[in-house]
Amino acid sequence: MQFTIQQIADALGAEADGNTELTILRVAEPGDAGQTDLAMAMSPKYAEALAAGSARAAVLWPGADWRAMGLEAAIFVPRPRMAMAGITAMLDRGQGVAEGIHPSAVIDPTAEIGSGVSIGPLTVVGARARIGDGSVIGPHCVIGMDASLGENAVLREMVSIGARAVIGDRFIAQPGARIGGDGFSFVTPEVSGVENVRKTMGDQGDAKAQSWLRIHSLGAVEIGDDVEVGANCTIDNGTIRNTRIGNGTKLDNLVHVGHNTRVGNDCLLCGQTGVSGSVEIGNNVVLGGQTGVVDNIFIGDRVISGGGTKILSNVPAGRVIMGYPGVKMETHTEIYKAQRRLPRLARDVEALKKAVSKQGSSD
């Protein structure tokens, strides 16, 4: 895998200058870059480290004086992370899943495997499962019966997809992702303490202790196009309808999405976020790491939550929230500042009480 500076610049739609026929094999941080590396130095701060390495070419900001940096060639990009998207896609060396179906894989004879599909060692594909053209399925995956996977999927090792899941094109799943576990849904024969607490905001009443009966998940998981799910994350089956993840949505590692929940398009659910069951999440929502979402609420389009936010009630579209419970970010900041001053405020009040009492007695 090697490219000339010109080839990379063309792929990015970017300007290049100098010896654009120079060949590079890898990208590197400026200080680590060797002679065949392309140094990523897209701001003056990063460019300073070029001297510590031996890069001959770099990706720089528009107008950067590449000659003064001792380089032979440069590519200029206005939005560094966009350039990163293009360059890293070109140079990704992948995980080395061999072409074709590994002989140790256990493929049900009724499964439909598209053309140009690679399947790694020891992967299991169930009855009537469909895998779209060009997909790369890593080793040790399980694709359940009647599940359907679109074109050009990339599954890393040990991904499991439950029966009847329906997944769109260009799906990416990191190691250990779990699509289609059963929902966590239980009921007691009589009204439970939890039900009472929800009504009263804190009182269990006289509900008696009972055992839990299981509500099975008859629904499955339905995932749109261009979705990515992180390592060891879990998306549960719906009870009656399907749990749904919209087009372009990305889930980070260890994220949990409960049964019946519907996540819209182009959302980001960051690391260890947990969404309970029957939640409706709009489009372009970003939930920061370790966000928690209580069940049966909605979160409008373009909502953003800061890391650690616990969302306990509906959130209107466009709102930026933070805290436990989650409130508008500016309210959270205001509350937080006031909290820091609380001990002093308490002392002020004590002093006032004394002063007023004294004034009162001196009246």
Among residue numbers 173 through 192, which ones bind a copy of itself (CB under 8 A)? 174-176, 178, 180-182, 184-187, 189-190
Rounded CA-CA distance 181/259 in Å is 9
Residue 1 is encoded by which pair of tokens?
């895998």
Q: Which of residues 131-150 bind a copy of itself (CB under 8 A)?
A: 138-140, 142, 144-146
End-to-end CA distance of the chain, in Å?
A: 90
Rounded CA-CA distance 156/143 in Å is 13
Which residues on neighbouring strands pair with residue 74, listed in sequence order? 17, 58
Q: Which of residues 337-356 bind a copy of itself (CB under 8 A)?
A: 338-343, 345-346, 348-349, 352-353, 355-356
Min dist. Cβ of residue 92 to a copy of itself (A): 4
Q: Which of 140, 216, 256, 259 is catalytic?
A: 259
Is residue 241 within 8 A of residue 223, CB to CB? The reply is no
Contacts of 102 (CB under 8 A, 6+ apart): 119, 120, 121, 122, 123, 139
Q: Which of residues 210-229 bind a copy of itself (CB under 8 A)?
A: 210-218, 226, 228
For a copy of itself, the closer of residues 67 and 79 by Cβ is 79
Q: Which of residues 274-303 bind a copy of itself (CB under 8 A)?
A: 274, 276, 283-284, 286, 289-290, 292, 294, 301-302
For a copy of itself, the closer of residues 152 and 283 by Cβ is 283
Q: Which of residues 2-61 bind a copy of itself (CB under 8 A)?
A: 26-29, 32, 40
Q: Which of 203, 296, 314, 316 binds a copy of itself (CB under 8 A)?
A: 203
Is residue 155 within 8 A of residue 174, CB to CB? The reply is no
Residue 174: other Cβ atoms inside 10 A: 21
- Taking CB under 8 A as the binding criterion, the range among 4-12, 13-21, 67-75, 254-262 that sits at the site for a copy of itself is 254-262
At residue 289, what is the residue type? Answer: G
CA-based nearest residue to 21, from 30, 9, 11:
9
Angle between helices 329-340 and 342-362 (to 10 degrees): 60
Parallel, antiparallel or unpaired: strands 148-149 and 130-131: parallel
Parallel, antiparallel or unpaired: strands 186-187 and 213-214: antiparallel
Min dist. Cβ of residue 97 to a copy of itself (A): 9
Q: Which of residues 62-121 bind a copy of itself (CB under 8 A)?
A: 79, 81-82, 84-85, 88-89, 91-96, 102, 104, 106, 120-121
Q: Which of 150, 224, 248, 300 binds a copy of itself (CB under 8 A)?
A: 248
332 is catalytic: no
Q: Which of 25, 49, 163, 297 binds a copy of itself (CB under 8 A)?
A: 163
Contacts of 129 (CB under 8 A, 6+ apart): 108, 111, 112, 143, 144, 145, 146, 147, 148, 149
For a copy of itself, the closer of residues 20 and 272 by Cβ is 272
Min dist. Cβ of residue 6 to a copy of itself (A): 20
For a copy of itself, the closer of residues 132 and 289 by Cβ is 289
For a copy of itself, the closer of residues 11 and 82 by Cβ is 82
CA-based nearest residue to 170, from 189, 185, 150, 190:
150
Q: Kindly list the catalytic residues.
A: 259
